[in-house]
């Protein structure tokens, strides 16, 4: 994560980001499980805290559990959530490959997530983050479509990360043109 613009913080609250960075070769393997565990634990802790603070109101809205629109099929939900995140992570990867644009990464992420939430919120629930879905599902006992909200937002960034790594490796292997 880059915040404020251009500075790396190392903090991210999305398991898909962790997996994207790891699959891109930019995050140590040994840190993936602790990061993802902390992200999911934070989801549970945040949801539980909301329940303690607002009590019955949180229970009445199912602890904020994510739901797709009626009629949205399982495969459709998986593909839409995955494709939306793949688009966001592709945009981020493109900006990451150009060091001069590094300061734009937070804006690309913010605009990308904003567009996804605005366009998909009423269709898929626009969870796009397993940590967003995990705590509310666990505390509300709402597991319908749970695997979609846990796997698609990790699988898509992983695939983009692998492609990003392959392209970086390929680009590094191409010899520079000889000077005339």
What are the pLDDT digits (tens) for 132-158?
A: 999 999 999 999 999 999 999 999 999
pLDDT for residue 28: 93
**How deeply is 96 buried, as exposed, middle or buried, from its count of CB atoms within 10 A (0-12, 13-18, 19+)?**
buried
> pLDDT confidence of 174, banded at 50, 70, 90?
confident
DSSP bridge pairs for 8: 2
SS3 content of the chain, % helix, strand, coil (to 5): 70, 0, 30
pLDDT for residue 8: 57
3-state secondary structure of 2: strand
Contact yes or no for 152/78 (Cβ under 8 A): yes
pLDDT for residue 102: 84
Question: pTM, whole model, 2 decimals?
Answer: 0.86
Percent of the chain with pLDDT over 90: 74
- Rounded to an integer, the average pLDDT of 30-47 is 96
Res. 6: pLDDT tops 60: no
Q: At 115, list the tokens.
A: 């567009």
Res. 176: pLDDT tops 60: yes
């Amino acid at each position: 994560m880059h915040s404020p613009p251009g500075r790396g913080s190392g903090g991210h609250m999305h398991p898909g980001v962790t997996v994207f960075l790891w699959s891109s070769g930019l995050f140590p393997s040994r840190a993936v499980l602790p990061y993802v565990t902390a992200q999911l634990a934070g989801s549970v802790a945040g949801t539980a805290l909301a329940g303690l603070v607002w009590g019955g109101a949180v229970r009445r809205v199912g602890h904020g559990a994510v739901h797709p629109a009626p009629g949205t099929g399982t495969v459709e939900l998986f593909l839409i959530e995955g494709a939306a995140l793949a688009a966001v992570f592709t945009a981020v990867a493109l900006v990451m490959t150009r060091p001069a644009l590094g300061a734009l990464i937070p804006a690309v992420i913010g605009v990308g997530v904003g567009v996804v939430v605005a366009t998909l919120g009423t269709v898929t629930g626009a969870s796009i983050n397993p940590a967003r879905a995990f705590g509310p599902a666990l505390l509300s006992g709402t597991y319908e479509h749970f695997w979609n909200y846990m796997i698609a937002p990790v699988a898509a960034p992983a695939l983009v990360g692998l492609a990003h790594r392959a392209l970086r490796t390929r680009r590094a292997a191409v010899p520079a043109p000889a000077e005339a």
